[in-house]
Amino acid sequence: MKNKNTPINPKLYYSTVLVVIALMLLGLFAGNPLLHHLGPGYLTHGVLVFFLSICLLIYPLYKSHFFRIIIIVVASTYFYTIFFLYPNTWSNFIFLCFIPAISILFFDKKLFHLSLLLNTFSIIILFSYIAIVDRGELYSYIREDLIGNIINFLGSQAILYFIFYLSYERLKKQKLYYEQIKHSERLKTTGQLAAAMAHEIRNPLTVVKGFLQLYEKENTYNENSKRHFSLMINELSTAEQVISQYLSIAKPDKDTETELVNVKDVLQSVTDLLNTYGLLHDNKIVLSKVEDGYIAASTIELKQLLINIIKNAMEASKVGDSVVVTSECKKDLIEIKVMDCGQGMSKEEMESLGTPFYSLKSRGTGLGMMICYNIAAKYKGTIHFDSVKGKGTTVTIRFPS
Ligand code: ADP
Ligand code: MG
């Protein structure tokens, strides 16, 4: 995670730091037992307060990993020093437990793990010192219940660990979410631009195609030229088709109305339409076991989805094969299945479905499945592919009823 990019609110930071510095100064001057016989101990305390204050004050200017390590080292030295200088202030022990919390503020995973490890190690040494050397002379409150203190220390580290992980995960998720929003905004803008462009390109294409169709019918041209015209018209039709399909994805859905659509009726009309298309390769659509069922969607879009999927199944089928379509009402959803015994798809091919312009057909646009997924998502439906290469494909479409 890039910590450098997380801006600190300067007002909040400096007011917090000033409070911390004021408390450290208060500890140095107010009722300090060492104040009466000044010595190297008190001097060390003063120097550490000074250094820690400077580090905290200039941190916003040098927000580097290295500087964070320096702050943690100085702060740890400070807390351990006051623990040793003021053995009667038992609450200093609490600060030792919470040293790893400093790196939580920096949201630095590596630093947190390192300081958790080093601090545990230091506490082990400290407790060994108290048990073996001090023997409860100065730190009787720790020595008298050593096990209890060790358990408390471990407990505090576990709490810190949970706090760190929970907030770290949440921050990571938020960051991801933010990235996604930014990405979709960018996509939306490019989508709008592309749609505007596609629209502009379609008009001249239509004009050129119209003239070619005229010339094709005239007798002044020889057969060879006419063949070229027909080739050009075909290519222009493909381009037109790509643009129309693209525009149907990009255009806002204001002209589609949601209504209660009877699946049986829609399947019947789609079958009637596509059976003519099937004559080309002697493919038939068999409607078996089609139940009445209602979906809240737009009739046009539902038809568009089914036409795309059934047409794909027909195009994948061998000459003379049939495509079987079923529809069933289950609990709270309607399940439509389109089954073919055609060429099937490999796992990789299935993963590419829905990617714009992915097509294995010489005249395919590769936009059909993308449109289908978009329509399904719009009405809270799903499309699932089961396919075996060379054996056939079953497409399962589910919509809430
Ligand atoms: P297009 O039909 O224009 O090629 P689609 O998005 O509709 O674009 O389909 C993308 C690709 O998915 C097709 O080119 C085809 O290779 C594959 N495909 C889709 N449905 C099937 C199917 N039922 N069986 C085999 N392949 C399929
Ligand atoms: Mg298709």
Determine the pLDDT at residue 3: 43
Determine the distance separating the centroid of ligand 1 and the alpha carbon of 352, expressed in angstroms. Answer: 10
Ligand closest to the CA atom of residue 354: 1
Ligand closest to the CA atom of residue 364: 1
Which DSSP category does 289 fall into? E
Return mean pLDDT, the chain. 89
Which DSSP category does 280 fall into? G
More confident residue, 82 or 103: 82
Ligand closest to the CA atom of residue 341: 1
Do 259 and 300 touch, CB atoms closer than 8 A? no
Do 262 and 385 touch, CB atoms closer than 8 A? no
Determine the distance separating the centroid of ligand 2 and the alpha carbon of 360, expressed in angstroms. Answer: 10
pLDDT band for 5, please (50, 70, 90 cuts).
very low
Using a 6 Å CB cutoff, which residues line ligand 1? 308, 312-313, 316, 340, 342-345, 353, 358-361, 364-366, 368-369, 393
pLDDT band for 255, please (50, 70, 90 cuts).
low
- With a CB cutoff of 8 Å and minimum separation 6, the contacts of 270 are 303, 306, 307, 310
Pick the residue whose CA is nearest to atom 23 on ligand 1: 313
Average pLDDT of the segment spanning 374-381 = 90
Instruction: Flag whether pLDDT at 322 surpasses 90.
Output: yes
Structure tokens that stand for 137 in this block: 């002379």
Structure tokens that stand for 31 in this block: 């009722």
Pick the residue whose CA is nearest to atom 19 on ligand 1: 312
Instruction: Flag whether pLDDT at 2 surpasses 80.
Output: no
CB atoms within 10 A of CB 360: 12
SS3 260: strand
SS3 300: helix
Ligand closest to the CA atom of residue 241: 1
Pick the residue whose CA is nearest to atom 14 on ligand 1: 359
Instruction: Flag whether pLDDT at 114 surpasses 80.
Output: yes
Write the pLDDT tens digit of every residue in 326-361.
999 998 999 999 999 999 999 999 989 988 888 898
Do 379 and 297 touch, CB atoms closer than 8 A? yes
Determine the distance separating the centroid of ligand 2 and the alpha carbon of 66, expressed in angstroms. Answer: 57
Task: Give, in order, the Cα–Cα distances in Å from 343 to each of 240, 275, 339, 385.
Answer: 28, 20, 12, 14
Determine the pLDDT at residue 7: 64
Give the residue among 309, 299, 303, 199 at the shortest CA–CA distance from 247: 199
Determine the distance separating the centroid of ligand 1 and the alpha carbon of 344, expressed in angstroms. Answer: 9
Pick the residue whose CA is nearest to atom 2 on ligand 1: 364
Using CB atoms within 10 Å of the CB of residue 326, give its burial: 0 to 12 exposed, 13 to 18 middle, 19+ buried: middle
Pick the residue whose CA is nearest to atom 7 on ligand 1: 368
Atom of ligand 1 nearest to the CA of 343: 25
Do 103 and 167 touch, CB atoms closer than 8 A? no
Q: Which long-range contacts (CB under 8 A, 24 or more apart) does 150-159 make?
A: 152/97, 153/97, 153/123, 156/97, 156/98, 157/97, 157/100, 157/116, 157/119, 157/120
Write the pLDDT tens digit of every residue in 24-62.
999 999 988 888 888 999 999 999 999 999 999 999 888
Q: pLDDT over 90 for what percent of the chain? A: 53
Determine the distance separating the centroid of ligand 2 and the alpha carbon of 374, expressed in angstroms. Answer: 14
